[in-house]
Amino acid sequence: MVQEPISRIDVQSGTLYFRGHSAVELATDRKFEDVLYLLVHGVLPEPGERDALSLSLVSKREASLVPPSGSSLVSLAEGMEGVEKEPYEKLLGLVAAIPIAVASAYRASNGREAVPQNASLNHAANLLWMLTGIEQAERNIRDFETCLILHMDDPENPSLSRLLQALNEGGSIAVAVGTALRAHGDPLHHGAGSLAANMVLSLAQEDDLHEAMAEKLDRGERLYGLGHRIYRTMDPRAKELRRILVSRTKGTDMSWLPNHVEDVAKAGADVLLERKGLVVHPNVDLYNALVYSTFGLATDVNTQLFAVSRAAGWTAHTVEFLGI
- Residue 172 sits at the vertex; the CA angle it makes with 77 and 3, to the nearest 5 degrees, is 95
- Axis-axis angle for helices 32-41, 302-322 (nearest 10): 30
Give the per-residue pLDDT at 183: 85
Give the per-residue pLDDT at 319: 97
Domain boundaries, given as residue ranges, for the chain: 7-189+298-322, 192-293
Condensed to tens digits (0 to 9), the pLDDT of residues 182-198 reads: 888 765 556 688 999 99
The fold of the 7-189+298-322 domain, in CATH, is Citrate Synthase; domain 1 (1.10.580)
Cα distance between the two ends of the chain: 18
- CA 12 to chain CA centroid, Å, is 24
Contact residues for 122 (Cβ-Cβ < 8 A; gap 6+):
31, 32, 33, 54, 145
Strand pairing partners for 282?
A: 226
Contact 121, 136 (CB under 8 A): no
Contact 91, 318 (CB under 8 A): yes
Give the per-residue pLDDT at 168: 96
- DSSP letters spanning 34-92: HHHHHHHHSSPPPHHHHHHHHHHHHHHHHHPPPPPTT--HHHHHHTTTT--S-HHHHHH
The fold of the 192-293 domain, in CATH, is Cytochrome p450-Terp; domain 2 (1.10.230)
Residue 169 to residues 18, 19, 86, 161, 173: CA-CA distances in angstroms? 27, 26, 20, 12, 12
Give the per-residue pLDDT at 67: 61
Give the per-residue pLDDT at 233: 74
pLDDT tens for the chain, 324 residues long, are 568 999 999 888 889 999 999 999 999 999 999 999 999 999 999 999 999 999 999 999 988 766 665 567 888 887 777 776 899 999 999 999 999 999 999 999 999 999 999 999 999 999 999 999 999 999 999 999 999 999 999 987 889 999 999 999 999 999 999 999 888 876 555 668 899 999 999 999 999 999 999 999 999 999 998 986 666 678 889 999 999 999 999 999 999 999 999 999 999 999 999 999 999 989 889 999 999 999 999 999 999 999 999 999 999 999 999 998
CA 174 – CA 80 distance, rounded (Å): 6
Q: What is the pTM of this model?
A: 0.94
Quick one: residue 228, left, alpha or beta (phi over 0 = left, psi -120 to 50 = alpha)? Answer: beta
Nearest CA among 282, 274, 289, 287 for reference residue 217: 274
CA 100 – CA 112 distance, rounded (Å): 14
Contact 39, 185 (CB under 8 A): no
Helices (H) and strands (E) in the chain, counts: 15, 3
Give the count of beta carbons closer than 10 Å to the beta carbon of residue 50: 18
